[in-house]
Amino acid sequence: MTTGVRTTREQVRQRIIEIGIVPVVRASSADHARKAAEAVCAGGIPIVELTMTVPGAIELIADLRRTLDPEVLVGAGTVLDAHGKADHGRRAYSHRGDCGVEGRQ
């Protein structure tokens, strides 16, 4: 995926398939989640999904996108609908500021 070029949903999907694993981080604090996400990346896995149950998940995901290697896919699991209900089966992944959604249409 090239810098400055918008990442398509299909490119995100292919990248997930290439990596072959999606480590999911669920933690009781943003600090613990950050450390876990950084450890996953330091271990050589260029993808991490944070559950939206992590306190401050949206802000943490935005910060990880800024601070992790730009090749890392950062995902949000347990995506909520407009009413705050879990939209089961949906996950959003971000790569270099672009976002794709996996799951139900």
Residue spans per domain, the chain: 9-102
Helix H segments across 9-54?
9-19, 30-42
Angle (deg, nearest 10), helices 57-67 and 30-42: 30
- Give pLDDT tens digits for 30-59: 999 999 999 999 999 999 999 888 999 989
In angstroms, the CA 9 to CA 33 distance is 25
pTM above 0.85, yes or no: no
Domain 9-102 CATH (choose: 3.40.50.1580, 3.20.20.70, 3.40.640.10, 3.40.930.10): 3.20.20.70
Counts for the chain of helices (H) and strands (E), in that order: 3, 5
pLDDT at 103 over 50: no
pLDDT band at 86 (very low <50, low <70, confident <90, very high): low
Per-residue b/e over 56-86, b at no fewer than 16 CB within 10 Å? ebeebbeebbeebeeebbbbbbbbeeeeeee
